[in-house]
Amino acid sequence: MAVKTESRSVTIATADGSCDAFVAHPAGDGPHPAVLFYMDAIGLRPVLEDMARELASHGYYVLVPNLFYRSGPAPVVEVTDLSTPERRAEFFGKVMPLVHALTPDLALRDAESYLGFLAAQDQVGSGPVGLTGYCMGGVLSLRTAARFPDRVAAAASFHGGHLATEAPDSPHRSAGDVRAELYFGHASEDDSMNAEHISRLETALDAAGVTYRSEVYPDTVHGFTMSDTAAYSEAGLARHWEALLDLFARTLKQA
């Protein structure tokens, strides 16, 4: 049953500065299981804050950091109308350099700070955390689960791209380090995560003995959970919530 929530902006000290972030959690005292929510490439914005509040209403303390904080507070790139190809091309022309600048080493160094922030909160239980990530955040969800296996019990990726490439540092190559239960919700039309990539990911997970579910959402494109974009699928978002809440309910135990 959904509960009343509270939310606010916070600042997290990292090795490279101060990261602005958004927090949502059930009203009143905890403790509650913690969730680190990794944004998509569009950035920290109202739609993600609404999603964090929704997740918090089911009993979780949710942290959504601005992953691009090194370039300034959110919105680092002002989000305008993304409904036309021309506007999308202009926007992503500004955003993609930020995505590429966030190397795996930097992202995982930040992840340690985010996990440390969560552990220090009075309303957060002492048990392991959950992760959920969207688009580029899906990649970071898998990487973080592999880097911090003792601290992550569950990790989800929705329309995550480039999870299983031929690159030496492709996320799927770290499957052997994962102890968390994983969930992948793939778009049916996504050049960054097509059927070949999905097969490569699942082969690596199977070989590593990881517990996971990997599902393709029909009639969806990359970004389908985001209601402020043309990629949005109402059915896809609803199915995402069902899968995510099921994963966390089974794996995140209140301390």
| Residues that are catalytic | 135, 190, 222
From the number of C-beta atoms within 10 Å of its C-beta (0-12, 13-18, 19+), residue 84 rates as exposed
The Cα-based distances of 251 to 18, 102, 110, 197, 244 in angstroms read: 31, 29, 24, 27, 11
Question: Which tokens go with 70?
Answer: 């090194």
Opening angle at CA 19, ends 115 and 76, nearest 5: 130
- The sheet carrying 212-221 orders its strands as 5-14, 17-26, 61-65, 34-38, 129-134, 152-158, 181-189, 212-221
Residue 28: alpha-carbon gap to chain centroid:
25
Opening angle at CA 35, ends 123 and 70, nearest 5: 105
User: Sign of torsion, CA 114 35 209 240?
Assistant: negative
Q: What separation, in Å, do the N-terminal and C-terminal C-alpha atoms of the chain show?
A: 19
Select from 33, 8, 39, 43 the least CA-distant residue to 23: 8
DSSP 3-state assignment of 70? helix
Instruction: Enumerate the H helices of the chain as residue ranges.
Output: 46-56, 85-101, 104-119, 136-147, 195-208, 234-251
